[in-house]
Amino acid sequence: MDDYVKVCLTSVLEEGKMKTFNIGEQSILLARHQGKVYALDGECSHDGGNLGEGELVNGQIECPRHGARFDLATGSVLRMPAVIGLKKFEAKEEGGHIYVAI
């Protein structure tokens, strides 16, 4: 069973935006798209770029370094140079906070 960790207030994550948070040694990308919160590995699988500094476009995350793209809902690679998808984490909103299962 996964343990949920409180990451931030829900108000910190605006619609259409994403931010990276460090939970222990794990970098987590939180993104809000069409009212839903998603949580994925915060580093690009190609080059370790901080995905929170990238772009969120039509449900896709674009890495700021080399333009690799990932599906926000699944973490799957959509555009090279990345070839390995991102780890996905369960996220929930409760009591004004966002929690992620680590």
Torsion of CA 21, 79, 72, 41, to 10 degrees: -30
pLDDT tens-digit series, residues 59-77: 999 999 999 999 999 999 9
Average pLDDT over residues 18-22: 97
Would the pLDDT of 1 be above 90?
A: no
Q: Which domain holds residue 13?
A: 4-101
Average pLDDT over residues 92-100: 97
DSSP 49: -
Q: Would you state the pLDDT for residue 102?
A: 87
Query: Domain of 60: which CATH number?
Result: 2.102.10.10
If you search the block for the tokens 């990276």, which residue do you land on? 20
The count of domains in the chain is 1
